[in-house]
Amino acid sequence: MPVITDPYFYLLSVPAVLIYGIGKGGLGGALGIIAVPLMAFAIAPTQAAAILLPILLAMDFFAVRYHYKSADYVVIKRMLPGALLGVALAGFYIHAVPQAGLKLTIGFLSLWFCIHYVLSEFGLMKAAKKQKGKMAAMIWGGVSGFSSTTIHAGGGPASIYLLPQKLEKVTLVATMAVFFALLNVVKVIPYAAIGEFDQTNLLTALILIPLAPLGVKMGVWMLHRVSQKRIYQLCYLFLFLSGIKLSADGIISLI
């Protein structure tokens, strides 16, 4: 069949795409961090990321059209060189590492994001100093590009650099929207190079794309009705459990 028909895949992928859209719609883009780890329970991690990429590009189109005038392009210009390097390194990585290694990578990244979230919530992390230097932008841009390419979760590392800049809220959201839209376009290159944009993956993405605007609308609706903190806590709980499972699967497969 030229499309994925496994019901278990859609049982995981439908909420994954909706959660990503909800994050884009107003509850914070970092919610999307759970998408690839969830889908990786049903299919290979690289296939999960490849199927999600066209869906993210569709979301980016609407986000950029709305936000591009408010973005801080000086900040984007500082972060972009490191981010592009991170995308390139991730492209070589996902090509060279076996699926078991990628599961382990996704598991460890998931757990790292959970630890960072918990430490931040309990005030156990020192506030980062405002840095405008090229080195800080290069480092966090690079980490963001790498994690964005491997699991579509570059928001955390990018925020470590962006939040101390004290950008106005609308400017911050717009800057993130434009920055990741640019990265998502570039990420097409490594995924096309490793042959992940085949007929099956593209048609499966096409089936799931209608969920993208629905998820965004749900996020807008939930913005003033649901506790954002509770949603994040639930999301990171699932991310933690996914991280444990994927790490264990990766380790067992490599032994």
241: Cα within 13 Å, side-chain hemisphere: 7
> Which pLDDT score is estimated for 27?
61
Task: Count CB neighbours of 208 within 10 A.
Answer: 20
* pTM score: 0.82
Helix axes 169-193, 45-67, angle to 10 degrees: 140
Cα(26)–Cα(128) distance, integer angstroms: 25
- In 3D space, the residue among 168, 213, 227, 248 whose CA is nearest the CA of residue 58 turns out to be 213
> Which pLDDT score is estimated for 188?
95
> Measuring CA to CA, how many Å separate 147 from each of 74, 80, 210?
22, 14, 25
Running along the chain, 255 residues long, what does each successive block of 10 average in pLDDT? Answer: 88 91 68 82 90 91 82 93 95 88 84 82 58 79 90 80 79 85 94 93 94 82 71 75 83 80
> Which pLDDT score is estimated for 1?
59
> Measuring CA to CA, how many Å separate 137 from each of 48, 121, 131, 153?
29, 24, 8, 17
Q: What is the DSSP letter of 194?
A: T
> Which pLDDT score is estimated for 128?
47
> Which pLDDT score is estimated for 87?
96
Q: Are 152 and 49 in contact (CB under 8 A)?
A: yes
